[in-house]
Structures are given as C-alpha cells and as structure tokens.
Amino acid sequence: MTEPIRTAHVLGGSSDIAAAVLEHLARQGLERTVLALRSPDAEPAAATPSGVQCTLLRWDAVEIDSHRVLVERAVEALGRIAVVICAVGMLAHHAGLGMGPADVDEMVRTNFAGPAAALSVVADRLVEQGSGTIVVLSSVAAARARKSNYVYGSSKAGLDTFAQGMADALVGTGVGVMIVRPGFVRSSMTEGLDPAPFATDPDVVAAAVVEALGKGRRGVVWVPPLLGPMLGVLRNAPTGLWRRIAGDR
C-alpha cells in the first residue's frame, strides 16, 4: 500500500475527468487541492468535492510565462504536492483537413506545447521535494492518427511522447509519471459527438486512475484496459486496413 494522497494540483481545473478523479481521491482522504483554470469566477462550487479545501488560480496553459508562478503558488497553498493532474485539452467537432493555420496552432499549443512547458516546471519542483506523481491525460487518439482528428491526435501524441521521456528522465528521483490513455469519454469535450465504440464516463477513468495511484503504479493506464492490446495491434496494422477500420471517425 502507498501513502494516502492528501494534496492534488490540477492543470485544467474545470475538466470533467479531473473533477471525477478528485471525487475519488476525496473518498480516500484528499484534503487540499489547487485548481488552475482559465475562468475561476465561472467555476461552480459544486465542482469541488465536499470536505476538500480548494484554491482556484487563474491560469492559461498557452501563457508560457505563467507556469513558474502558478507552480510556486500551488506549493504555497498545498505544501508538499502529492499528485499533479494535467487535464488541459481541446477538441473540436472536426480536427482534421480544412482546419486553418490559426486553429491548428491553437490546438497544438493547447494540447501539447502549453502543457509540456508547464509539466517541465512541475517536474523540477517535484524533484526538489523528492516525491510526487504526475498524471498526464493523453488519449487513445495519440496511438495512431485518424483522418477526422489527426490534429488533435498528433497534439496528444506529442504530449504523450513528452511524458514518456520525462518518466524515463525522472527514474531515481522519487517522482513518477502516469500516462492515461482513455478512449471516448462522455464529457464536456465530447458533447454533441456520437460516442465511439468502448465509450466510457469520467467516473470510470477516475476509478482507473485512482486505483492505479493507490497501487503505486506508474506507466500507461488505458481506459478501458482492452484498448491497450487492441491499439498494440492496430497501430501496426497496414495503412489500408487502418483507414477502413477508422472510417470517418
């Protein structure tokens, strides 16, 4: 058994998946959290689990100069940070051919460049304290690009690869990285989209994350787990076959 998680810092603090993770952590003794989000004034109090002391900090992932200040303020509020959850992300109803340069740039900076820059500060700070786990919400879309959302998929793949390398670099420091690769999750991000096969809910992702954290597991967590072996095969499938399987999704 690992130590109970008392403190959590969330990047992308209004995320439905992150909120579900906090709910699960609250049942296991979470005491304090810092949510970094773009619109703290708009955040409903109900989004915070009851009994957990919550600090809201205004933060935008694409404002690279803000990351150091954010992490220092999170340390001030939390003391030792047990877990950092990176849940920043944007999807569009279409994230492929026809997106303009500004849209592509925004998606890559929001899903990859911004979070990666923030995580580099987070990693330094956790190494200083000698412990902690960084949970990075990647995606099944990172495993292989599809025609309808390759901009999203490639931006998540960038973050996923960054997190893998960071995990290697952190070996021996006491800091670990968990890379979470959910399939389609019914959340604000996917509102209005037809659920993909194996669609799941934030609560299911949260349960998998918190179970893995409880076991001290690091590395990759697929949700649902079946996606791991499936993508192991599909990412190497011949291009023509993959295009037929992925279809218009």
Ligand X SMILES: NC(=O)c1ccc[n+]([C@@H]2O[C@H](COP(=O)([O-])OP(=O)(O)OC[C@H]3O[C@@H](n4cnc5c(N)ncnc54)[C@H](OP(=O)(O)O)[C@@H]3O)[C@@H](O)[C@H]2O)c1
Q: Which amino acid is at 141?
A: A
With contacts defined by CB under 6 A, name the span among 57-65, 93-101, 227-235, 237-245 that binds ligand X: 57-65
Q: How many angstroms separate the first and last alpha carbons of the chain?
A: 41
Using the rule CB under 6 A, which residue among 2, 28, 39, 120 binds ligand X? 39
The distance of closest approach from Cβ of residue 174 to ligand X in the complex, given in angstroms and rounded to an integer, is: 25
With contacts defined by CB under 6 A, name the span among 59-67, 93-101, 170-178, 209-217 that binds ligand X: 59-67
Asked if 62 is part of the footprint of ligand X (rule: CB under 6 A), the reply reads yes
Three-class SS state of 124: helix
Residue 150 annotated as catalytic: no
Using the rule CB under 6 A, which residue among 88, 126, 157, 209 binds ligand X? 88
DSSP per-residue codes, 77-123: HHSS--EEEE------S--STT--HHHHHHHHIIIIIHHHHHHHHHH
Using the rule CB under 6 A, which residue among 52, 84, 85, 87 binds ligand X? 87
If you count them, how many residues does the chain have? 249
Set 22, 30, 122, 152: catalytic member: 152
The distance of closest approach from Cβ of residue 224 to ligand X in the complex, given in angstroms and rounded to an integer, is: 12
Asked if 12 is part of the footprint of ligand X (rule: CB under 6 A), the reply reads yes
Using the rule CB under 6 A, which residue among 2, 53, 120, 188 binds ligand X? 188
Range 161-178 burial, b when 16+ CB lie within 10 A, else e? ebbbebbeebeeeebbbb
- Site residues for ligand X, window 90-109 (CB under 6 A)? 90
Strands 83-86 and 53-58: unpaired
Pairwise CA distance, residues 93 & 193, whole Å: 7
Question: What are the residues binding ligand X (CB under 6 A)?
Answer: 12, 14-17, 37-39, 60-62, 87-90, 110, 114, 137, 139, 182, 184-185, 187-190
